[in-house]
Amino acid sequence: MLNLRVSATVLGLIVSSTALSILQTPPPEPCTGNCTFIHDPSVVRRSDGTWLRFSTIGNIAIATAPALTGPWTYQGALLPQGSTIRVRDDQELWAPDVFFANDQFYAYYSVSKSGFQGSDIGVATSKTGDAGTWTDHGSVGVPKSADYNVIDANLFRECDTCDNVWTFGSAWKGVYQTSLTKDYLKWGGEIPRQVLYNSSYPLKPQTFPSITEGGFLFWWAVGGTKYYYNFFSSGACCNAADDLQAPGDEYKIMVCRATSPTGPFTDADGKNCASENGGTLVLGSHGNVYAPGGQGVIVEPGVNRVALYYHYADRSIGYAFDQFLFGFNYLDFSSGWPVVTS
């Protein structure tokens, strides 16, 4: 808050209107049905109008709804028997990323465990996306490295024949990009490039720099310029009620943009998001909303509005892992930067 006022004074009207919109951040849009036990959601809309929501829990939970607002009905697990990938015995499946191409759904999922760097990402496919219809294809085969952790996939493509950009990464040195083969099932051989990194340390002492993860690419044209927005989560994702991060260091949704899907990404102040700790806040804790993150972005057909969806804790409900909720808000890009709006 203090920072906003200082920059508003220094930079004048434009920044002060940005500050104002942050101060007036609306609550999440309504969500009915099953909106709980949600982490790292990925949402797609099927051609029959059904919305599918995938999230981290129970070998990737699948829920369906007639609208983004719900009512959401839990269907079952994406991989009821777990993955064919084995990174350790107590592994979990996390952070799905689902998209539709070649007449089928593709789901990337992470195989990991909290604090573990030897993670991997697998891919499964399905014609309908429903629970019970998914075929696991195992690891996409991105090489492991001491620089990154192979979790939090996001596949970006602009058309059927366009090159794809595959974003992944968490903690260690942040978010990386590479590309997959044309069938989206295997690593394409391009050495991963770092695109987002925050080298500063959080207030609460920890032995690694602030976490930068969950990169999600989305393009939008503003005033004739096509921008590629890299939404990401910054800070600590998961806090117990008795061990909350210092305010400001909990999860929040940030964005950087570029005029190419492969970067270089910069923030609203022009800072590079890989080498200068750049990143512009889109949605942080406000009101009862605590630690929003694990986000994705989708265009809602019909209304043609852009929705930013995410998980968050509601301070009036609790901070336990199973209490995290699904939320979304609409974005306004008219300033060139996404601003949460009602």
Ligand X SMILES: *[C@@H]1O[C@H](CO)[C@@H](O)[C@H](O)[C@H]1NC(C)=O
Active site residues: 40, 213
Number of residues that bind ligand X (CB under 6 A): 19
Binding mask 272-291 for ligand X (x = CB under 6 A): -----x-x------------
Pick the closer one to ligand X by CB: 200 or 207.
Answer: 200
Distance CA 80, CA 136 (A): 11
Binding range to ligand X, per CB under 6 A, among 4-12, 52-60, 162-170, 334-342: 52-60
Smallest gap from residue 243 Cβ to ligand X (A): 16
Pick the closer one to ligand X by CB: 190 or 276.
Answer: 276
Binding residue (CB under 6 A) for ligand X from 234, 239, 285, 295: 234
Binding residue (CB under 6 A) for ligand X from 25, 42, 55, 239: 55
Pick the closer one to ligand X by CB: 31 or 254.
Answer: 254
Q: Does 79 bind ligand X (CB under 6 A)?
A: no
Q: Does 38 bind ligand X (CB under 6 A)?
A: yes
Binding range to ligand X, per CB under 6 A, among 119-127, 195-203, 288-296, 305-313: 195-203
Give me the sign of the Cα torsion angle 244, 247, 253, 257.
negative
Binding interface with ligand X (CB under 6 A) = 34, 37-38, 55, 57-58, 61, 74, 198, 200, 202, 210, 212, 234, 248-249, 254, 277, 279
